Amino acid sequence: MDDIAAWFRWLHQTSGIKLTVFYDSYDRSRFLEGLVTTLKLSLYCLILSLALGAFTAWLCGSKVAAVRRAANGFVQLFRNTPPLVQLYFFYFALGPLLPKVGGMPLLGSLGWAVISLTCSKPRLLPRFFAPGSRPCPVR
């Protein structure tokens, strides 16, 4: 392991390529923490997006017109706004409106990222989950 760290130090000194995660323990721990957070975020959003997409597709197939329109409105709202705008809206517009628990926000940044990405990804799933693979009707 010391040989690998020495090689990456040499690489930095000779070429300026700085890959400190291979020889600096602090950078390595921060990198691994970020990797674990990314994997958790991906797993949460994948599971919740599939569930929300299946539920939305089920609602799109409803015989009640108001339910179909509400599901279609959800799909169109999140289909027509960029995910970054949605994240900003959830975090900066809705975040301050939630109550604080012990001086801390009810939802942290990871929670808002999960909510934002979960709501933005199922916008395409009702097409695949809908009975007969038909998309939500646009009316």
pLDDT in tens, 3-12: 888 888 888 8
Going by pLDDT thresholds of 50, 70 and 90, the confidence category of residue 98 is confident
CA–centroid distance for 127 within its chain: 20
- Average pLDDT of the chain? 83
Rounded mean pLDDT, 125-137: 57
Report pLDDT for 26: 93
**Per the structure block, which two tokens stand in for 55?**
């539920």
Q: Per residue in 16-66, pLDDT tens? A: 888 888 888 899 999 999 999 999 999 999 899 888 888 888 888 888 999
State the pLDDT confidence band at 121, using cuts at 50, 70 and 90. confident
Residue 133 pLDDT greater than 50, yes or no = no
Q: pLDDT value at position 62?
A: 82
Share of the chain above pLDDT 70, in %: 86
**Cα 102 from Cα 80, distance rounded (Å):** 37
d(CA 35, CA 27): 12
Tell me how far apart the alpha carbons of residues 60 and 52 are, in angstroms, rounded to a whole number. 12
**Residue 135 per-residue DSSP state:** P
